[in-house]
Amino acid sequence: MLANLFQPELRGLSYQQIWGSGADFTSITNSDTVVNSETAFTITAFYSAVSLISDTVSTLPVDAYVRVDGERKPYRRNGGKPSWIDQPDVDTTKQAHYGAVISSLLVYGNSYTRVYRDRSGEIVNLVVLDPATVEVKRSSLGRKVFIVQNEPKPLNSDEVIHIIDLAMPGGLTGISRIVKLKESLGIGIALQEFSARFFSQGLSTDVVVLAPTATPEQAKNLIDGFNNRHSGLRKAHKAGILTGANVDVKELSLDPEKSQVLESRRFVVEEIARVFNIPPHLMGIPGSNTYASVEQNNLQWISHGLRPITEKIEWAYSKLISTEQAFIKFNMNALLRGDLQSRAAAYSVMTQAGIMSVNDVRTLEDMSAVAGGDQHRVPLANIDLTAAELTSEEMRIKMARDLILVGFDPEETLKALSLPPIMHTNLISTQLQPEGL
């Protein structure tokens, strides 16, 4: 419906658009619009979706760990974790590096990171490559080989970290979400251009002037005079008059409300949110959530939207650590923090159950540790396994005391209760001793 309202600006396909898509790239959609990595970002919702995921994950704390006998411990080498974790690219920030990885993954379906090492094999720099400059093939041994522009020779998997968003069986590269979303993005681009032209051109493109008896010169003067007075946003809706015989004006444009432009633009936003697994309320879609469901939607977004992306990066980058059972991990706890009251209730349960110490809680709240705060505490009704023998002995001593008080032989009582013998003073109980003894 909207395709015939304006003619699109056709652009030639570049090497980047073809290779960067990770699949065969379709330039023209059914809405007669050009969709590629450049035009997709002109849609606010698409830019917002990629930016939201990229900024959220890239700003998470990340650390290195190692499993020892099934227990996860911080991985420290020469007094600290590998320097490339907090500074992957020496010429940019950690957030910019991981953000580029995620953006490349979401837009092109692939992310390529060039690994630079010194002569001793230590990693000195990690640089995210433009997917347009990388071609992936298989060697005779079935290993991936990366042909990168400006590289003198093909690179192997030790020199390039290749992360795939979604791959089909047998595919060497991932599928671009732009390719799968091209029709919805095409509608979005068409709607944006239609809205812009509707406001910028005012009435001049919405009507046709009928002058059957006018000469070509008279028709040109009529159109020029009409455009000069009404073309453009600031001249729209001005009163006008046409002179000449048998002159009439017919409206050709569609009413944006009747053509459901607003509903169509909302549909595009919902489609983008759906393909990126983002809850609608995070995309600013009004009326998409109640306040009570926001927290659950956030948890669902973390589980099904962010976790798969972070795990792909963690698995790929963990191979850079030579130590067996070592890996990197993004800390997602910051995204799960609730309000102060909810956190206080959770901390109370965790500390009372002995799962967390006071200093554990203070660390999560960015507070300094306190003396004695590392001790784990449990309620008196719950006995630690290491204290079980002590509690049993206390019960036997109490039983022995009660038996001796009612007249049982002390030595035989201790022996019956498996208690060690105790020397007796042979004096009677202090309760029965005469005064002054």
Print pLDDT tens along the chain (437 aa): 344 433 333 333 333 433 333 443 445 666 667 777 787 787 888 889 999 999 999 999 899 999 888 888 888 887 788 889 999 999 999 999 999 999 999 988 899 999 999 998 899 999 999 998 999 999 888 899 999 998 999 999 999 999 998 888 888 888 888 877 777 777 777 767 766 666 655 544 556 666 666 677 877 777 777 777 666 545 555 555 566 556 666 665 555 554 556 677 777 788 888 888 888 888 887 766 655 556 677 778 888 889 999 999 999 999 999 888 899 999 887 676 666 677 777 788 888 877 888 888 887 776 788 888 888 776 655 655 556 566 667 788 888 888 888 888 888 888 888 888 877 666 666 665 566 55
Stated pTM of the model: 0.65
The crossing angle, in degrees rounded to 10, of helices 261-275 and 44-58 is 30
Q: Distance of alpha carbon 414 from its chain centroid, rounded?
A: 66
CB 331 within 8 A of CB 62: yes
**In which element (H, E) is residue 110 found?**
strand 110-117
From the number of C-beta atoms within 10 Å of its C-beta (0-12, 13-18, 19+), residue 4 rates as exposed
The crossing angle, in degrees rounded to 10, of helices 182-201 and 261-275 is 150
The string of pLDDT tens digits covering residues 175-234 is 888 877 777 777 777 767 766 666 655 544 556 666 666 677 877 777 777 777 666 545
332: tokens are: 């997602």
Which of helix, strand or coil describes residue 123?
strand
pLDDT computed for residue 389 by the predictor:
61
- Beta-carbon contacts of 109 under 8 Å, excluding residues fewer than 6 positions away, are 21, 22, 23, 164, 165, 166, 173, 174, 175, 176, 177, 179
Query: What DSSP assignment string belongs to 202-268?
Result: TTTTTEEEE-TT--HHHHHHHHHHHHHHH-SGGGTT------STT-EEEE-PPPTTTTTHHHHHHHH
DSSP 64: E
**Angle CA 269–275–280, to nearest 5:** 45
Closest C-alpha to 25, from 188, 183, 179, 187: 179
* Alpha-carbon span 116 to 241, nearest angstrom: 72
256: tokens are: 């944006």
**In which element (H, E) is residue 310 found?**
helix 307-318
pLDDT computed for residue 3 by the predictor:
41
From the number of C-beta atoms within 10 Å of its C-beta (0-12, 13-18, 19+), residue 360 rates as middle
The string of pLDDT tens digits covering residues 52-69 is 999 999 999 899 999 888
Percentage of the residues of the chain whose pLDDT score is greater than 70:
69
pLDDT computed for residue 7 by the predictor:
38
